[in-house]
Amino acid sequence: MKNSLKLLALTAVFIFNASIKINAEEIELDSVAAIVNSGVVLESEVLELIKSIKTRAEKNNQELPSENALRIQVLEKLINDTLMLQMGERMGVQVGDAQLDQTLTNIATNDNLTLEEFRQAMVADGVNYENYRESVRNELISGDVRQASVRRRIYISPQEVANLLTAMKEQTSDDVEYELGHILIEFPVDPSQDDINSAKSRADKVIDLLNSGSDFAKIAIASSSDESALEGGNLGWKSINEIPTLFAELVDGQKKEEVYGPIRTGLGFSIIKILDIRGRQIVEIEEIKSRHILVEPTIILSEAKAEALLQGYLDQVNAGADFAELAKAHSEGPSAVRGGDLGWAEPSNYDPAYSGVLVNLKVDEYSKPFRTSHGWHLAQLTGRRTLDATKQMNENKARQIIYKRKFNMESARWIKETREEAYIEVVERGSK
């Protein structure tokens, strides 16, 4: 196999090293710097990349290694890129002009330039912009190939995520401060069992009041024996290490408004509430619950008829018909068997036209018939809730950290294996 590849590559070498004579003067078109399977890395590509690196280094006052060392690094990169592009071609990976232009626009924006200003600046630096543009396309393709190939080699266990979350919590706990409320239901010195039972009963009643929505500060002023009672039980802002261990174990990593207790201490029964948290990113997400009837227009069923059909269903619902039964009988799509119920989801998970209508409805309100990319809908918002997504965010962050650690190692192994399986020959300069 490798001999066949070498034969194909040497044919390419002959073509690219070909010379023509114009007015009796021999002009070399280009030369091959390396053979990579059935493809080649051209000397012009090597020189172009070296020039680009030198220009960037000069702008940043950055020192570069020797010319020979720089060339070796550049050639190695171009060989790897060629391997990636060959794999990308086999995998069908493509980067369209729209995606490429958006990437270039982002690069220009980082330099506070428009895309046209960026292009002009590169031309002024002597860089062939079209070549640069294609090199960015190749980088995007290489990145996609690398991600797709390495991702399936990486496994992250739940235990790894849990261990990292523990380590992260230990490292950042001092950066988190809690504003706590405290109510103490005290019992006397050397209390009898009756004293303890009585205090416990009063503490349970306080918990019941708080869980039913009573004001914490008001109850603290009225019932607490702690010295903070007149301040509404507010203990002020404290880091986790400043909070008594018994309380710290309860509140660490928890969310605002949580109430804990009764907690038996040497003084009585304590009730703790997390009044506020700072120094930590709290992420909340809104979810909506909805159901719909979907009608997809066809050659037979026009857009106008589909809309009119749904308006008829809405009229029936307003007259007392059961929405779920209408959905089961007439809706298209997998939700029909559930009476059109789509369950809980973030609005961003839906077609923008669908979420745009739903987020403006009140709970239990019906929409008018409306069009999305899926067809015509009649929808009802059946619920709305806000969730604390901080735990999920931290888990995702930990997973990303582990993935990046493993990705770098696995990527290096994968590149090494890929090169070992390929035919690669560096062509000595000056050889034909």
369-407 pLDDT per residue, tens: 999 888 899 999 999 988 766 677 778 777 887 887 788
CB 214 within 8 A of CB 237: no
pLDDT in tens, 36-86: 999 999 999 899 888 888 887 888 787 777 888 888 888 988 999 999 999
**pLDDT at res. 27:** 46
Residue range 210-227, pLDDT digits in tens: 988 888 988 888 888 887
Instruction: Respond yes or no on whether the N-terminal peptide bond of residue 191 is cis (omega within 30° of 0).
Output: no
Least confident of 19-33, 104-118, 217-231: 19-33
pLDDT at 15 over 70: no
- Domains in the chain (CATH in brackets) are 2-153 (1.10.4030.10), 177-278 (3.10.50.40), 284-388 (3.10.50.40)
The per-residue pLDDT for 28 is 52
pTM of the predicted model, to two decimals? 0.46
Predicted local distance difference test score (pLDDT) of residue 413? 84
Q: Quick one: average pLDDT of 8-20? A: 40
What confidence score (pLDDT) does residue 173 get? Answer: 52
pLDDT score of 9: 41
Hey, which of 83-92, 200-209, 310-319 has the most confident mean pLDDT? 310-319
